[in-house]
């Protein structure tokens, strides 16, 4: 573990390599798992206020799930999560004609319908943020469905923290990222 501005960062955030390979996994992280994507309180409020702008970018099954369950659900651990469609994919996931998942929220953002890219937990993946009282921990989440992303990351030699640079800056700020990068240089 290293400490970056009062944040604990696991060593593998710097040492592991990763680059999404959507052509291989087809966005399986939006489908697999037992729960929706973690949401922060301000994200829940944003989704509540802007659902009508996001709805045109969703498919019928996702829209039905959201209108039945709400724009978020309470997870087993008490945290907020995106709702699921029949216990499977995220209700905000949409699929191309070739079966590749993308985010309806992000599609609305790209079309300038909203000013929110997507939940930070999705943007940061494969990193997970855990809050322990006043301490924040940044951990690398290794998931078998991302084996192709690990292989591609190794092939092009991109550390996890560099792959999610934009998301880390969005979450913690540029100064924080620069401090993380400086720590990475010292350990390599």
Q: What is the pLDDT of residues 7-28, one digit of tens each?
A: 999 999 999 999 999 989 998 8
User: Tens of pLDDT along 32-44?
Assistant: 888 999 999 999 9
Respond yes or no on whether the N-terminal peptide bond of residue 126 is cis (omega within 30° of 0). Answer: yes
What would the pLDDT profile of 150-182 be if each residue is shown by its tens digit?
999 999 999 999 999 999 999 999 999 999 999
Q: Rounded to an integer, what distance in angstroms lies between the CA atom of residue 50 and that of residue 116?
A: 10
| Domain positions in the chain | 1-18+126-188, 25-118
Residue 133, pLDDT above cutoff 70: yes
CA pair distance 106, 82, nearest whole angstrom: 14
Contact (Cβ atoms closer than 8 angstroms) between residue 106 and residue 58: no
Query: Helix crossing, 165-172 with 174-187: angle to 10°?
Result: 130
3, pLDDT greater than 90? no
pLDDT given at position 188 = 62
Which residues have a Cβ under 8 Å from the Cβ of 137 and sit 6 or more positions away? 7, 8, 9, 10, 129, 130, 131
pTM assigned to the model: 0.91
Which run of H or E residues covers position 100?
none
């Amino acid at each position: 573990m290293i400490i970056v501005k009062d944040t604990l960062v696991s060593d593998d955030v710097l040492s592991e390599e990763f680059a999404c390979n959507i052509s291989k996994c087809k966005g399986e992280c939006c489908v697999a798992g037992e729960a929706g994507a973690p949401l922060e309180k301000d994200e829940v409020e944003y989704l509540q206020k802007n659902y009508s702008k996001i709805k045109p970018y969703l498919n019928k099954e996702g829209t039905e799930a959201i209108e039945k369950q709400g724009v978020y659900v309470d997870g087993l651990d008490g945290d907020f999560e995106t709702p699921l469609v029949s216990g499977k994919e995220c209700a905000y996931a949409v699929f191309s004609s070739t079966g590749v998942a993308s985010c309806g929220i992000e599609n609305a953002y790209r079309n300038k319908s909203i000013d929110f890219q997507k939940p930070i937990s999705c943007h940061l993946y494969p990193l997970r943020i855990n809050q322990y009282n006043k301490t924040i921990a940044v951990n690398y989440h290794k998931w078998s469905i991302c084996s192709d992303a690990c292989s591609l990351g190794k092939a092009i030699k991109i550390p996890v923290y560099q792959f999610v640079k934009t998301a880390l800056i969005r979450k913690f700020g540029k100064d924080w990222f620069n401090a993380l990068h400086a720590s990475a240089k010292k350990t390599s």
